[in-house]
């Protein structure tokens, strides 16, 4: 019996020394990446403010940090919300990354921290429209060696679809954030189909306009609702 207990203890110690330490490394790297994101967001915002002031003072650009693991950037009518998850994740074995030589080289290379990036309409936040929809536009994955890859729609998702050959740098993140800004500004708000907004209750009409229970969302290529539908170009309609 004592031999069994000793064997179990050794196995636990080995797991703690290897797997748990690895997860701490991933967590610390993800924090480091998120701190770099905050620096990039602030620097980009300052540069854009300088550039746009002489063009049109109505264009608003701002950065706010409400929580430790969340930071928000407002660019004109859009908001990008960067949110770092505090847990470390493994992928299902069917994920394409498991076919890469890098992950085959060491099983722990596939464990990642995640930084999610969401897009909201600025007016949804300003007018407290709780029924409006935001969209996940990007997920940044960081592993124990500070290598990264991205899940995203469009060219950016293709460009960063596999683990980077070098550790993540601030320059990479600034480039990614610029691409995200271009992406959300490019995709416009579409008028929802008539049938979806035809009926409204008296109670809804008596409330403030900002509280009307009519959801608003942009035409982004991400599913945000079970009732959402797409056109032939994969544009999302709410």
pLDDT tens string 197-218: 566 666 666 664 445 455 566 6
pLDDT at 237: 31
Mean pLDDT of the chain: 83
Residue in the structure block whose two tokens are 């945000």: 224
Q: What is the DSSP letter of 209?
A: G
Sheet of 112-121, strands arranged across: 61-67, 70-75, 78-89, 112-121, 135-142, 148-152
3-state secondary structure of 41: helix
Contact 80, 40 (CB under 8 A): no
Q: What is the mean pLDDT of residues 100-121?
A: 93
Query: Is pLDDT above 70 for 222?
Result: no
236 close to 218: Cβ distance less than 8 angstroms = yes
Instruction: Taking each helix axis as running N to C, give the angle between helix 21-53 and helix 170-186, from 0 to 180 degrees, rounded to the nearest 10.
Output: 60
pLDDT reported for residue 223? 34
pLDDT, tens digit, 9 for 90 and up, residues 131-185: 777 889 999 999 999 999 999 977 888 999 999 999 999 999 999 999 999 998 9
Nearest C-alpha neighbor of 30 from the set 86, 125, 99, 113: 113
Q: Is the dihedral of CA 200, 204, 208, 211 positive or negative?
A: negative
Does 1 or 143 have the greater pLDDT score?
143
């Amino acid at each position: 019996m004592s031999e069994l207990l000793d064997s179990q203890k050794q196995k636990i110690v080995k797991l703690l020394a290897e797997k748990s330490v690895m997860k701490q490394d991933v967590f610390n790297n993800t924090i480091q990446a998120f701190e770099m994101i905050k620096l990039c967001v602030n620097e980009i915002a300052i540069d854009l403010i300088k550039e746009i002031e002489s063009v049109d003072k109505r264009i608003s650009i701002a950065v706010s940090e409400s929580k430790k693991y969340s930071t928000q950037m407002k660019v004109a009518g859009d908001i990008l919300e960067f949110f770092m998850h505090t847990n470390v994740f493994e992928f299902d074995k069917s994920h394409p990354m498991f076919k890469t030589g890098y992950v085959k080289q060491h099983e722990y290379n596939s464990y990642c921290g995640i930084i999610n990036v969401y897009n909201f309409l600025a007016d949804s936040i300003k007018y407290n429209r709780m029924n409006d929809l935001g969209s996940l536009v990007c997920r940044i994955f960081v592993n124990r060696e500070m290598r990264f890859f991205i899940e995203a729609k469009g060219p950016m998702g293709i460009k960063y679809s596999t683990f980077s050959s070098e550790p993540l740098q601030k320059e990479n993140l600034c480039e990614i954030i610029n691409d995200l800004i271009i992406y959300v500004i490019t995709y416009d708000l579409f008028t929802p189909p008539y049938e979806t907004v035809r009926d409204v209750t008296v109670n809804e009409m008596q409330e403030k306009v900002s509280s009307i229970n009519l959801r608003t969302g942009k035409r982004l290529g991400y599913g945000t609702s079970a009732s959402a539908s797409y056109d032939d170009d994969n544009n999302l309609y709410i």
